[in-house]
Amino acid sequence: MPELPEVETIKNELLPHVLGRTITEVELFWERIVRQPPVNEFITSIVGKKITGVTRRGKYLFFHLSGGLVLVMHMKMTGSLLVNPSDARFTRAILHLDGGIDVHFWDPRKFGVMWLEKDESSVARQLGPEPLDEEFTPGLLAEILRKRTAPVKPVILDQSIIAGIGNMYADEALFEAKINPLRAAGSLSGNEVQRLHQAIRNVLTKALKKQGASIRNYIRPDGSPGTAHDEFNVAHGVGKNCPNCGAPIQRIVVRGRGTYFCPECQPQP
């Protein structure tokens, strides 16, 4: 699933192609990709509008349009946005822009969605803080985790608590912080919270520099893969050994999510 590093990469690499461009036509090959308003109204509302900006919040992309509307996109599990791809397989929608630019919403499993809002706030107010913002401090993380009895992994995956962290980066951050994913979130000591805070920021920053991770379906707007997965320590690591101690990486299920960890470096609570 595209997470913060992948969606931020899509935004950054898409911007030079779309900023200031006008939407001239919309083609839908999977009408259920549009959540709201009805399809005909959706199309007529955005055709002729200029893209004045593209921003990200959590795992959401916002295309700011002239006239005040915001086109919201969520890639869900397997979506990406491609610019003028040579192969249109798995394209579910195309935004045709002036200047010969076509943006394909590419989504093999048809989970991605897009819709219109008057502004970002209806989505943003449902999300927690951005983990790479200055406001996300160890103190804020301590307050977030305090008194929570749920395992720490699903807590940091909850988008209403912290925005943008997904399954693979949660595994990597917990490994770097040497915290077992089953630990009760509220049981972490001050030192462990500090380590987790630093690990979250380290893992996401490194992944951004590698343009995200292409474990399965994610690809960048030019069709090339990200390479962050090449440096994963535990995520999707069954059959591999811990780079620190050599113990076999284990996989368990935590609140329905496949979870990878080192049983020696991240001992059970």
Q: What is the pLDDT of residues 20-54, one digit of tens each?
A: 999 999 999 999 999 999 999 999 999 999 999 99
Quote the pLDDT of residue 99.
97
71 and 118 share a domain? yes
CATH of the domain at 229: 1.10.8.50
Of the candidates 2, 131, 181, 221, the residue annotated as catalytic is 2
Query: By the 8 A CB rule, do 90 and 1 touch?
Result: no
Quote the pLDDT of residue 207.
98
147 carries an active-site annotation: no
209 and 120 share a domain? no
21 carries an active-site annotation: no
94 and 12 share a domain? yes
- In this structure, is residue 130 part of a structural domain? no
61 and 153 share a domain? no
- In this structure, is residue 133 part of a structural domain? no
- In this structure, is residue 268 part of a structural domain? no
- In this structure, is residue 208 part of a structural domain? yes
As a three-state string, the secondary structure of the chain is CCCHHHHHHHHHHHHHHHCCCEEEEEEECCHHHECCCCHHHHHHHHCCCEEEEEEEECCEEEEEECCCCEEEEECCCCCEEEECCCCCCCEEEEEEECCCEEEEEECCCCCCEEEEECCCHHHHCCCCCCCCCCCCCHHHHHHHHCCCCCEHHHHHHCCCCCCCCCHHHHHHHHHHHCCCCCCEHHHCCHHHHHHHHHHHHHHHHHHHHCCCECCCCCCCCCCCCCEHHHHCCCCCCCCCECCCCCCECEEEEECCEEEEECCCCCCCC
211 and 233 share a domain? yes
Domain of residue 216, residue span: 138-261
- In this structure, is residue 131 part of a structural domain? no
| Domain final residue, candidates 95, 124, 153 | 124
Structure tokens at 131: 């983990």
159 and 257 share a domain? yes
**Rounded (5°) CA angle 200-78-256:** 60
2 carries an active-site annotation: yes
Q: What is the pLDDT of residues 89-139, one digit of tens each?
A: 999 999 999 999 999 999 999 999 999 999 999 999 999 999 999 999 999
153 carries an active-site annotation: no
Average pLDDT over all residues of the chain: 97
103 and 161 share a domain? no
Q: Of 8, 74, 56, whose CA–CA distance to 206 is shortest?
A: 8
Of the candidates 5, 6, 57, 59, the residue annotated as catalytic is 59
Is the pLDDT score of 188 beyond 90? yes
Q: How many domains does the chain have?
A: 2
Q: What is the pTM of this model?
A: 0.95
- In this structure, is residue 269 part of a structural domain? no
- In this structure, is residue 217 part of a structural domain? yes
